[in-house]
A and B are shown apart, each in its own frame.
Chain A
Amino acid sequence: MTLQLFLLLAAALFAVGLYGLLSQQSIVMILMGLELAINGIIVAAAAFWFFAASGRPDGQVLVLVAISAMAIEMAMGFAITTAIFRARDVDMADSASDLAG
């Protein structure tokens, strides 16, 4: 186990999540991509804590912030999906492109 291996895992997770984020049409699937990307950040933060600064808990705090970001992202994502679905009966990002800007 080296820092490089952990960071490669984090980068791979982030890249897979990024692909999902960019390519998926359904909002729920986009959220899945976002979750994968944030999970990469969690792995990277944990690895940095262990290999670079395990005497201090700052890395752990970063992991906690990332986990909270995940929870908030998913709750808000589903709430917006529900609101759009109620208003227009769609769950696709393309059908809500007028919300951009």
Chain B
Amino acid sequence: MQTVIFLICAVGAVAAGIAVFRVDSMARATLALLASFIFAAAPILLLGLSYLGMLVILMMVMEMMIMAVFMVMYMMNPAGLMPMKMVHNNKMSLVIAVAVFVLLAAGVLFTPWPSGTAEAAVPGSTTAAGRSAADPTLALGLDLMGPHMLVMIVIGLALFATMVAVVVLSTHRGRYDRFGDDLQRRPADDPVRGGLGK
């Protein structure tokens, strides 16, 4: 049963991933990518990683919807009503992608992996490696707040740096535009007024 679900989701994820670059409508491409993410999250859920699987779904729905807005903003042909190809070096890209897949697949199939099948593996009980796994969500949380605290700190710092960099890059108005040359003007001169009147 699990294998059947996995196979359906795996084929769906790859098919939706290919559809991203085949459909004309940008809205459909974004939602195909979303479908690919949800299909790929299902196998993660099957492995018992319920928190991370749901996190991928939650984050990707939000991310893809924001992506859709950017699509409509920037693409010259978002609805795909005039089909056009926006690719360069298509053949070589295809060759490289297929070659990389063949190489990876060969590596996957010919490497002697430590353990074999995990048919009996049920989330929360004994897993393939033979060790009993407690709630993986709890284990992740304890690990992030304990031995791997550094990872969490680095992720947090990187996200914070990203927020600052993104605002700097994408805004074209600084404080002198808002508050005037002497920074005395109140309320600020904004194209869109916020709710607090600042």
Per a CB cutoff under 8 Å, which of B26, B100, B109, B128 touches A4?
B109
Q: Which residues of B contact A8 (CB under 8 A)?
A: 10, 105, 108-109
A79 touches B170 (CB 8 A): yes
CB distance from B84 to the nearest CB of A (A): 11
B18 touches A16 (CB 8 A): yes
B96 touches A18 (CB 8 A): yes
B188 at the interface (CB under 8 A from A): no
Give B21's nearest chain A residue, CB to CB.
A20
| C-alpha spacing A42/B116, complex, angstroms | 21
| C-alpha spacing A23/B18, complex, angstroms | 13
B75 touches A91 (CB 8 A): yes
Task: Bits for B11-47, please: 1 = Cβ < 8 Å to A, else 0.
Answer: 0011001101100001001100100110010011011
| C-alpha spacing A3/B114, complex, angstroms | 10
Give A23's nearest chain B residue, CB to CB.
B93
Interface SS of A by simple majority: helix
A47 touches B47 (CB 8 A): yes
- By size class, the interface of chain B is 35 or more
A7 touches B108 (CB 8 A): yes
B113 touches A3 (CB 8 A): yes
Q: Which residues of A contact B55 (CB under 8 A)?
A: 67
| C-alpha spacing A18/B175, complex, angstroms | 41
A61 touches B143 (CB 8 A): yes
Q: Which residues of A contact B116 (CB under 8 A)?
A: 2
B117 touches A28 (CB 8 A): no
Per a CB cutoff under 8 Å, which of B56, B66, B94, B128 touches A67?
B56
B74 touches A16 (CB 8 A): no
Max chain A CB contacts within 10 Å: which of B75, B108, B139, B143? Answer: B108
A72 touches B159 (CB 8 A): yes
A9 touches B133 (CB 8 A): no
List 9 additional A-B contacts (Cβ < 8 Å) besides A1-B119, A5-B6, A16-B97: A6-B43, A13-B40, A16-B14, A19-B94, A32-B30, A33-B21, A51-B114, A61-B144, A78-B70
Chain A residues engaging chain B, CB cutoff 8 angstroms: 1-9, 11-20, 22-29, 31-33, 35-36, 39, 42-43, 46-47, 49-55, 57-58, 60-61, 63-65, 67-68, 70-72, 74-76, 78-83, 85-86, 91-92, 94
A-B interface, 9 closest residue pairs, ranked by CB to CB distance from nearest: A15-B101, A19-B97, A55-B131, A22-B93, A23-B93, A11-B104, A79-B169, A57-B143, A79-B166
Q: Could you jot down 12 A-B contacts, CB within 8 Å?
A: A1-B121, A2-B116, A9-B43, A16-B14, A20-B20, A22-B93, A23-B89, A25-B87, A28-B70, A29-B21, A54-B127, A79-B166
